Structure formats: structure tokens, C-alpha cells
Structure 1
């Protein structure tokens, strides 16, 4: 994750366009977990413009992750949109979706809203979660996943070395 989020050229150029000029060394050198926590909790420390930084930061990480995976698994992929444009677009889409969701039900006020959790499906369905990783220095890639039944119980897991 670190090589995708901060070490590749696309990531570095994206972050340098957004980070205060006096802080790029600190931004790029932090421990990964602390880096993520810091950017999500202190939204004005690193960015030039901290407005909705947490949303943009997360969106940019998603864009970097998906671009990295497309380069690995879709070797002929063509990227028409920059990482920065992709991140801004995702922020706009997220805000529009949130506004649409709130305004679509004018009779429900925030005080009446309740948290909703995932409930088991009444039929016999499974949920599959998958992920993959690539080590740039060794060139090795792996993938894996887990399968849960409709009640959230673990059924099986799998891993595969891709070479």
C-alpha cells in the first residue's frame, strides 16, 4: 500500500500539487498508519486547502489503488483522467449522492435517522470479499479472499500466488 499511496511517480506528483510547500518531506516520510490517521483527523495540517481534505484524501487513495491494479491486471489499460481529476470527481459525486439522499425524503429529519447495519439475506447467498497485492521490489503478486454465508459466518478463505 505504501508504494502505491506515496512512492510511485503518479502519487508523488499528485500529493505535491496539494501539500503545503514546507511539509512534503514530512508528508512522504511518515509511518503509513500514522500518515492515514493524520490526514483523516487533522485536515488542515498538510494540505494547501484543507476544505473537505478527508474526503479528497480518501478519494485520491482509491484512485491510486485502482490505477495500480489496472496497470497490473489490465496491461493495455489507457488512463484518460489524472489521479487528481479522478479524486476531485469522486468528491463531487460523493457530495451529490449525499445531497440527493438527504433531499429525496423531505419528511425524515436527521434526528429521526438511525444506523442501519447489514442484515443476513433470507435466502442462501454468499458474500465474497477479495483483495490483491504486488511487491514491486520482488515482482511477486498475490490475491486472496474470504467467503461468508448469508448469516455472516465464515465459510472458507483462499489465497493464490500469482507470480
Structure 2
């Protein structure tokens, strides 16, 4: 709550907090000038704040000490600045906007009607207790369902694999057969790809 008090106009705070989730997300990722005190780059700032709020909540849930003593606002601001610098560098030195647009259009067409599963795993470094969770979204980004599972004592690698498994299982239960799995563990992703290749060759 403290985070939103710092960035949302006081007269719109109650409406901001009570807004329907889908409308809330659309507003924050779209035109938020009616709610936000400093709306410039708000979509990036919003993403950075959500990310650090999520990290903070995980640190509490799994009793993990956060190395960075800065506030969520300060860390979000730092991430936003780095993101904006990276975007500027890409604009100045990266591929032309037209080629980026063409690539994005091709990617959008290739992902048409594909359900997306985002999964993640987490581990308490002190106890070794792990859990996993994630979300399932349509190709347009619409929420389908969320999932979570307490695993027990295991490695973070196992937790990542469990997250992928549960996510794909839930998608299958939704009768989704065209699924894109997205995860942030290169090790787990490589293991899944290797198992898939072995299955094809076996």
C-alpha cells in the first residue's frame, strides 16, 4: 500500500486500489495519467514496482533476507532507469524500428491462438523448502488461471521443473493443446528441451 500512496494521486487512490483487476492492469499498462502523479514511462515503472513487490513478498513468505536494503520504490526507480537506458541504446544502435515491427508482427502471427504458461520456482535457502507457481494466459494476455504447489525440501532446479509440469498439466486440463511454456531458468529449460529431443530420437 505504501508504494501506491507514493505514486498515485491522493484523490484517485481509493479508486486505484478498488479497481477491477483487468481494468487496473489495462490502465497501468496503457494511459495512467489520470491516476499517476508522474505518468512518464509509467508502464515501465509499473512493471519494475510489481517485480520488486513480488520479490519482497517472496522474501517474507520464504523467510529469505533481502540483500538490497533500499525501498521498493528506490529499487523500482533504479530498474526503470536501467531499462530506459537499455531501450535508448537499442534505439540508437539496434535494428531499425521497421525491422523490429516486422519481427514483432511475425512473432504475433506465429503465436496466434497459443496459450502461454508462465512458471517459476522458489526455494528458502535456510530450510531448503521449495514451492512453485505461475499463470496461464491466452495469446492476447488474458488471464485463464493461476496455479501454485508446495513441494517440500528439494533443489531450485526441481522446483522449476515442478512449476513447468504443473503449468502444462493445468493447461491440458483446460483442454489447451497449443501451449507456449515460458520460464526464467535456463537450466530447467535446457533439461526440458533435452528430454524432448531424447523422446523424439528414442
Q: TM-score, normalised by structure 2?
A: 0.52
Alpha-carbon offset, residue 79 of structure 1: 4.4
Pairing partner for 2:69 from 69, 76, 80: 80
* Residue number in structure 1 paired with 2:43: 54
* Residue number in structure 1 paired with 2:120: 130
Alpha-carbon offset, residue 103 of structure 1: 2.8
Pairing partner for 2:24 from 30, 35, 54: 35
Provide the aligned C-alpha RMSD in A.
Answer: 2.7
Alpha-carbon offset, residue 38 of structure 1: 1.6
**Shift in CA distance, 76/95, structure 1 to aligned 2, threshold 3 Å:** closer
Q: TM-score, normalised by structure 1?
A: 0.63
Pairing partner for 1:142 from 145, 149, 157: 149
**Shift in CA distance, 142/103, structure 1 to aligned 2, threshold 3 Å:** same
Alpha-carbon offset, residue 78 of structure 1: 5.0
Alpha-carbon offset, residue 52 of structure 1: 1.0
Structure 2, unaligned runs of 5 or more: 108-117, 122-131, 134-147, 151-161, 166-180, 182-191, 197-202
Secondary structure at the residue paired with 2:11?
coil
Pairing partner for 2:59 from 55, 59, 70: 70
Residue 22 in structure 1 maps to residue 11 in structure 2: yes
Pairing partner for 2:96 from 96, 104, 109: 109
Once residues 78 and 112 of structure 1 are traced to their aligned partners in structure 2, the CA distance between those partners, rounded to angstroms, is 40
Structure 1, unaligned runs of 5 or more: 1-11, 118-127, 134-140, 154-163
Alpha-carbon offset, residue 109 of structure 1: 2.6
Q: Point out 4+ residue stretches in structure 1 off by more than 6 angstroms.
A: none
Q: Provide the aligned length of Structure 1 versus Structure 2.
A: 122
Secondary structure at the residue paired with 2:164?
strand
Secondary structure at the residue paired with 2:91?
helix
Alpha-carbon offset, residue 111 of structure 1: 2.3
